[in-house]
Structure 1
Amino acid sequence: MNQPATETRSVIVERDFAFPPEKLWRALTQPHLIEEWLMKNDFKPNVGHRFNLRGDWGGVLDCEVLAVEPNKTLSYTWDHAHADAAYSLKSVVTFTLTPIPTGTRLRMEQSGFRSDQPQAFGGAKFGWQKFLENLNQLLARPD
């Protein structure tokens, strides 16, 4: 008899940016900037705010802000409903910003991948590298 998969995995990406935490924070919390590096959205940095992320691929992620500590921590749910349960995802994304001498270390953790979701896990590992490269390009542009 198969037990339900309860153990979850996380995708963690750490990256150093040559910009102060305040600049990264703006890009993580202002909807027009989020759209440039991540997805279209109706985000507001208020705990309890429900919002959607809309991907180019036509998918919609249902999200809710869990934690906001300006210039330090941002956390929200990242849920994708799918007819096939193996593709449905209930996860949490947490961004942690730490000042370093050269700028800011950003740690992104997306937790909640079940062991029966290798495609979602692999997709997130690939996707977050791309998203954070987009973020770096956005930050590098002159204001």
Structure 2
Amino acid sequence: MTILRNATTKSMEDKAAPDDLHFESVLEAPPAKVWRALTIPDYVAAWLRPAENGIDAAHSPRRDSSEPELVDCRLLAAEAQQMLRYAWSEKMQERILDSVVTFELAPHGEGSTLLRITQGSFVLRPVAANLNQPTMLLKAA
């Protein structure tokens, strides 16, 4: 079951901003297995479309316009089988949404994992008008 809420624990409330998004889910897998799904590139590619793979919206099935065209992430911090933190950048139409995404894992019962995902520190910025990419010129008639 996935839950969206502002702050789930006192420790999260201390460091959470009012606009942060928090998702929690109990997964029927041990933390080691969930950690592999979050860290092995082939497994990550199954649920996240990394920009470094050169995949873009033009080569994917039609999606809702609110979905990101590209996701680019840079690792900021990691604690094995406990926490991953990324600088996250999503290109959405003519804007880029920068944020910080944190994945926290904790044992939950026998063989299960509590996965907490927090996304915050949002900055919305426009896409540069000149991307310094080659342009096509049309021949004047």
What is the TM-score when the length of structure 2 is the normalising length? 0.58
Q: Percent of aligned pairs with the same residue?
A: 33
**What's 1:95 paired with?**
103
Task: Tell me the amino acid that sits aligned with residue 113 of structure 1.
Answer: F
Task: Return the structure number with greater relative CO, CA threshold 8 A, min gap 6.
Answer: 1
The 4+ residue runs of structure 1 with deviation greater than 6 A are: none
Per the TM alignment, residue 27 of structure 1 is displaced from its structure 2 partner at its CA by 0.2
Partners of 1:77 and 1:53 in 2: how far apart?
19
Task: Tell me the amino acid that sits aligned with residue 62 of structure 1.
Answer: D
Residue 74 of structure 1 contacts residue 94 of structure 1 at CA under 8 Å; is this kept in 2? yes
The worse-fitting range, judged by mean Cα deviation, of 15-24 and 59-68 is 59-68
Return closer, same or farther for 1:83/1:99 CA change in 2, 3 Å cut-off: closer
1:79 counterpart = 2:116: no
What is the RMSD of the two structures over their aligned residues, measured on CA atoms?
3.1
Unaligned ranges ≥5, structure 1: 1-6, 43-50, 118-143
Residue 76 of structure 1 contacts residue 93 of structure 1 at CA under 8 Å; is this kept in 2? yes
Return closer, same or farther for 1:89/1:13 CA change in 2, 3 Å cut-off: same
Residue 50 of structure 2 contacts residue 70 of structure 2 at CA under 8 Å; is this kept in 1? no
